[in-house]
Amino acid sequence: MSSTIDPRRHRELVRLLEKLGLEQSKLEAIHPSGFDWLLIDRALVHPSFSSTYNNDQLEFVGDSVLRLSVSLFLQERYGDRSVGDLAALRSHLVSDQTLAKIAGIYDLQKYVVVSNAAKNDSQALRSLLADALEALMASLYIATQNLSYIRQWLDPHMQSFAESLLAIPALGNYKVALQELTQGIWKRLPEYRNVPTTDSNENIDKDKPFSVEVWFDDRLWGQGQGKSIKAAQQEAAAIALQEMQKFIEANPKLNPQKSQVP
């Protein structure tokens, strides 16, 4: 790999960091030798594109950078809450789902270099973007040795997601929230069904081999995938909770004692 970056690629990276509120002049003033743009570039190269020059190790470091940044944010903004509540919040804030949403806000997909096969794999896109965002955090921290270059754009998103989570019953534990909803209205519990997976099933994310469905009154309300059955259940419950809340909002005269879900 060349020690320099193609001018067009350099301009792309500058635009991306400007979206994060990070000005090129300020970044390049950090070190006398200049800002390490190769490190930023590498953070956005998926292993499917190159087996030697990719973001694997940066993503590994980025996981810790992310957790530290989010932990500090939670301690500062929600220090009056219990450690259990903070841990529950953090588990959602550092999830692939949250990271992929943030990546989408900044159009990160436009800057990530991937193979054609990976680019067309819609099932794996969320994990790909989440990994790239973590790698980008690592590269920024390594290049600046300062978390403020991450937290200045990450904290506002964490604040928004945290407020949304705190508005959800059971603090974002979607299984518990869904259980409380169905029990409170219909006095019954949802049913979780494990979905058999095979290597030939193209709809299965190979990084998340477990698939679970949520059923209630003979109706499928949500399906989720995860690295574990528990994670897949949470994802399925989150989808089911959203769909069931829409149903309830559309039926304001719902009788909690007699209503059946169509």
Angle in degrees, CA 57, 2, 137, rounded to 5? 30
* Assigned token pair, 165: 């989570």
Q: What is the DSSP letter of 196?
A: P
Alpha helices in 78-210 (DSSP H): 83-93, 96-105, 116-119, 125-144, 148-166, 174-186
Catalytic residue status for 63: yes
Q: Is the dihedral of CA 197, 93, 160, 103 positive or negative?
A: negative
Catalytic residue among 12, 63, 85, 243: 63
Catalytic residue status for 134: yes
Catalytic residue among 41, 96, 131, 134: 134
Determine the 3-state secondary structure of 222 from DSSP. Answer: strand
Angle in degrees, CA 195, 199, 201, rounded to 5? 60
Active site residues: 63, 134
